[in-house]
Structure 1
Amino acid sequence: MNEDIGGGEAAAARLARGTRLDDVLDVDDPAAWTGLDAGVRAWGGYGIEDLPDKAWVEALDAATGPPGRSGTGRWMFRSSRRRPEPAHGPSIEPRLAVALCHPDGHTREAALARIAARPALLPLVVIRAADWAAPVRDKARELLRAGLDVRTGVALAPLILRIGRRERGAYGVELLGAMLRRAPHGAPATLFVHPDRTVRRFAYRLAAEESLLSPGRFARTAAWDDDVVVQALCAEAALAAVREDGDFDDVLEPLLAARNPRARSAGVTALRRAGRPGRALDFLADRSALVRACARYVLRQHGTDPLPWYRQRCAQAADPALPPGAAIGLAECGVRADADALRLLLTHPAPAVRARAVAGLRTLDVTVVEELRPLIDDPAPGVVREATLALLPSAALLPEAWLTERLVAQRPRHVRVAAQRLATAAGLAGRLPVDAERGC
C-alpha cells in the first residue's frame, strides 16, 4: 500500500504545533490518514523527542495541562515547553492525533483512552483497529464498535476498506458490513455511486448478498459502471435473482444494450435460459470476441450452427454495412477454406472490416506475404497494425529495399513504425540507412 510518507511527516509536524486537523489534512481522503500514520512513524525515527509521548497524553487528565518536563527532567514534548496548553485547549486534538500514530505502542494505547467526544479522530481509530500491538488493537476495536453508526460507517467506508487490505484489517470491514446489514435498505445508497471502485465493489457485493436491489437495478449497474468487477458482480446478481422468478424482461435489455462486453456477454448467455436463442444472432458479429463466443454457444445449445450465418454475411464483400465482427467471427469458427472469403474483404471500403479480415487470416494461419504487403501502406493505422502482426513471422522474406522505402520521413508515422518493427524482426535494423532510422 503506497503511502505519502513525506506528506505525512509534514502534516505531523504541523499537527504537533497545534494546527487544526482540517487545516492540515483532507479529512475525506483515506490516503491522508494513512499517510499521516506512516509519516509520524518515519518522523519518530529521528525526532521522537518532538512527538507528544505517553507522559504528555496522561497529563491530559490533569487540570493544569501537559507538563514541560518528565520525572527524569528530560523534555518529553518540546513544543509544550514553548507553549503550555490547557487540558482541553484547541490544540489538544491535533497533537492527540499525532500521539495516536506514535511509534511507541504505549503512547498509542494511552491516546486511545483519551479520545472520547472527539469524533474527528475516529479515522485514526480505524487505523489502530489493525494495529500490530494487540492491546492497542483491542482498545481501538472496542472504540470502533461504539463509535461506528450508519452515518460514520458510510463516511469512513473508503478508509475502512483501505485498511482492510492489511494483515489485521479484516475486523473493520466485517464490522462495517454487519452494521450496514442491520441498517435500513437505503443506507448504502451513497456507496453505490462512490468514486472509489473499492467502495462500490463492497457495496454491491453486500447488496447482492442481502438482496438489497432489484434485478433490474443490478442489470442497469452492470451496464453502466466502468469497473469490471462491479460489472461482473452485478450481472451475476441480476441473473441469479431472475433464476427464481423467471422474469427476464427487466434484466436482459440493459445487459444486451451495455457498452461493456462483460455485461453484454452475460446477457447473451442468459438468452439460452430465457428461451430466446434467436436473439443471439444479433450478437454473432459483436465487436467483442467474448460476446461472439457466447452467442455461438447459445445457438449451438439450441441446435443452430452459426458457421453458415458467417459465411453468408462475409460472401457479401461489397456490402458497406458488413459488420467487422463477421469477418473475425468467420475465422473463429470456420476452417482454412474460408480464407478465400476473407481475402475478398481485404479491399473492403471500411477500415475496420479490412483490419478484421487480416486478423481472421492470421487466426486461420493462412497469411501470404505478397497478399498482405500492400496493406502496410493502408491509410488506416488499425489495418497496418494487423498487417504488421500477420507479417512479423515472415519478416525475413520482405525485401530490404521495400522496408527502407517505408522508413523515410515522408511516409505516415504508422507506416514508418510498422516498417521499423518488421525490419527489426528481420534482423535488418542495424543495416538501415541513418536517414531511414531518423524517419521513425
Structure 2
Amino acid sequence: MPSTVRGPRVSGTAADLAAVLGAALVVAVAAMAGRALLAGGVDIFLPFPPLLAEWLPHVGPGTPVAVVVAVLVVTRGPDLAGRLALRPLLAVGYAAAVAWTVALALVDGWQRGVVERLGSSQEYLHDVPRVTDVGAMLRTFADHILTDRPGFWTTHVGAHPPGALLTFVWLERLGLGGGGPAGLFVMLVGASAPLAVAVAVRALGAADLARRALPFGVLLPGAVWVGVSADGMFAAVLAWGVALLAVGCTRLGPRADMAALAAGVLLGWCLYLSYGLVLGGLPALAVLAATRNVRAGALAAVGTLAVVGAFTASGFWWFTGFERVQVIYAASIAATRPYTYFVWANLAAVLFALGPAVVAGLRRAGALPAGVALLAGAGLAAILLADVSGMSKGEVERIWLPFAVWLVIPCALLPRARYWLAAQAGLALAVNHLLLTVW
C-alpha cells in the first residue's frame, strides 16, 4: 500500500513529522493567544487555553492500569490486528478501549473522575428527578429552554434535545441512577466507537485498513473526554448508525435491510441527543455516495423519519428547540468568547483529542480508497462546518468527538505504527496526568 501521497519529493516520515510540528505550533500559538486574552480581561472561560482544563499534575488509581494498557496496545496491537479473525479482534479491541477509557478516568479517582462528572449542577443527572411523566416532559420540554423563564432546565439539558435527558431517565428507572452507574454506562457505550468505525471501513471493502486503524481508534487521545462526557456516548451512537448503514448498503437480503433500517433509527436518535449531530449526516451521506444503494438509503430514511415522527407526535418540535437554544447560547459564556479567536483555536483544542498520528495520517489520506476517503473526509468536513458556524466556541475537545473518531482511518496508512501509537498514548497520558479536565 502506498505510504506517500502526491506532493513534494520529501520522504513520507519527514513530511509526517513536519505536519505534526505545524500542528504543535498551532496549539502553542492558541495557548499564548488565549493567555493574552485572559491577561487583557477577556473572560474566555478557559483556565488552560485552548482546553477547558486547569494545570494540576497528579496521579491516581487509574495510572498504572492506563500505562499497562498503553504498553500492551502499542506493542501487541498491530500484530493482533493483523492475525486475529475479525470477531475476536473486535472483542479484544473493545476490551482494550474500555480498559483504556476507564483507567484514564480513574487517574482523577472514582469520585472526581467518574461520579462527579455527570452529577454536577450543570449536567443531565441534575434534572432527572424532575421527570416524573415522560410524555409531559416531551410536550413541555421547549418551554423550559429559555433561562429567563421560571423552571428552566440546567445548562446541558436545555442546550440539547430531550433524547439525552431521556437516556439518563431510563437508566435511573432501570436502577442505574447516580453519577457512578451513569458514568460507567457512558464509558461502556463510548468505548465501542472505534469498533463501529472498523466495521464501517470493512463494509466499504477495506478490511486491511479497518484492522490497521483499530489500534489507533482504541488509543485515540479523545478517550480522555469519553471518560466521562455524554459526547463520548453520542460519538458511539453516531458511529454505529453509520456502520450499520455501511453494512446495509454493501450486503443483500433481509439482514441488510434490517441493518439499514436500524441505522436510520440510530441516526434519527442522534438528532435528539445533540443539535450539532445534524452534521453527523455527512458520514452517512458519504456511505451512500460511496455505495449508491438507493434501497438502503430509503430504508434508513424510514428509520430516521420514524424517530422524528415519534418525538414530534409526543410534542417536541426539533426546530423550536434549536431556535431557543440559539437564544440561550448567544447569552451564555459564548457572548464573551470572541469568534475571531475560537474559529482557529478550536482546531488547536481538537488536536488534543486527535493526536499526532491523526495529523500525520490525514497528510496521507489521498492514498485511501475512494469510499473510505469519503468517510474520513466527511468527519473532517463536519468539524470544519461546526467550527465556522460559531456554535462551538471552546470545549470542542469533547463536543467534536462524534466527528473525530472518523479521522483515525488514515492512520492505517502510517508506517512504524508502534511509534505513532506510542505518541497517541503519550499525549493522552500527559493530558490526563498534568491537567484536570472538566469532562
Scaled by the length of structure 1, the TM-score of the pair is 0.20
Structure with bigger gyration radius: 1
Structure 1 or 2: more helix by fraction: 2
- Determine which structure has greater relative contact order: mean sequence separation of CA pairs < 8 Å that are 6+ residues apart, divided by chain length: 2
Scaled by the length of structure 2, the TM-score of the pair is 0.20
